[in-house]
Structure 1
Amino acid sequence: MAPQAGAGGMSEQEQKYAKIIQSGMESCVVKSIMAGGIGFALGGAFGLFVSSMSYDTPLTPQGQAIANLPVREQIRRGFKDMGSRSYSSAKNFALVGAVFSGTECCIEGLRAKSDLTNSVAAGCITGGILARNAGPQAALLGCGGFAAFSAAIDAYMRMPGDS
């Protein structure tokens, strides 16, 4: 006997799982985790690219010039440096993505609207949080800078398409 098909040709069990997945995707926690994960991946790729282009450590910790080391050791140290820079960049991108996404989702839930104000407020809060350790002036500058960047990106994303 075939299962009963409900809405969209899905069985009751499939509909139940679809509702669970949809409610999870609407959760601020899940959105933050996903943004952090994607930010980690993009930050790692960006960090790898940038670190592969620059090599600004001409001396070893012992003061010996890297150019005087054997080629194998130069390559090993270069890859180790690229890895640590990539990981650092990945962590930073993950933090920015998770904080911004979570903050914007919470503000959107509180205001019960999806508009430019949510992005600007989330940008301000995120920028302030990220710069808080450098003092109040830096936190204020981070708030304004990240809010302006968020407003510009969101305004661009909300522009009508060419269709």
Structure 2
Amino acid sequence: MKRVAVFCGSREGTNKLYMQEAKKLGEQLAKHNIELVYGGAVVGLMGAVAEGVIENGGTVTGVIPKRLKMIEIAHEGLNQLHVVKDMHERKAMMAKLSDAFIALPGGVGTLEEWFEVFTWAQIGYHQKPCALLNTNGYYTPLVNLFDHMITEGFADPHYKENVIVEDNVNDLIKCLTT
């Protein structure tokens, strides 16, 4: 496990725990010599995870679309910042650069990015782990939706089995590195 893509919110959320856990994830990635690949912004959870890596001597690569460079405020302290044409290029580059994918709490953009790589895994485009950091039970409704999709016959059970869901950073890192 050399590089992990993290999809997460450009907002902080209403609970301080989200920012704390995002920064803790960054710290643990750096301590395990795992490089961070993320959306390139300095704000919200994106900024917190990047700062956690940077403050612990790790390597951070940002990938930000030109249009979002000013809106999400590109982080100037990264090892590399790729400014790409659009979201399609961002997702393709992040997928190419990464060995695994983690979603932290975020909005529909976070879900859209994570679901795309999760779908690619389902149809065999890659065999990279896809994980959800379930901070404060944030992704519990989504996990319940997976169960509902299976019950209603719209998904096979093994797809859910391929999703790593952990409530804390240390357990998630352990799952990805063993």
TM-score normalised by L of structure 1 = 0.25
TM-score normalised by L of structure 2 = 0.23
More helix by share: 1
In our comparison, the structure showing a higher alpha carbon Rg is: 1
More strand by share: 2
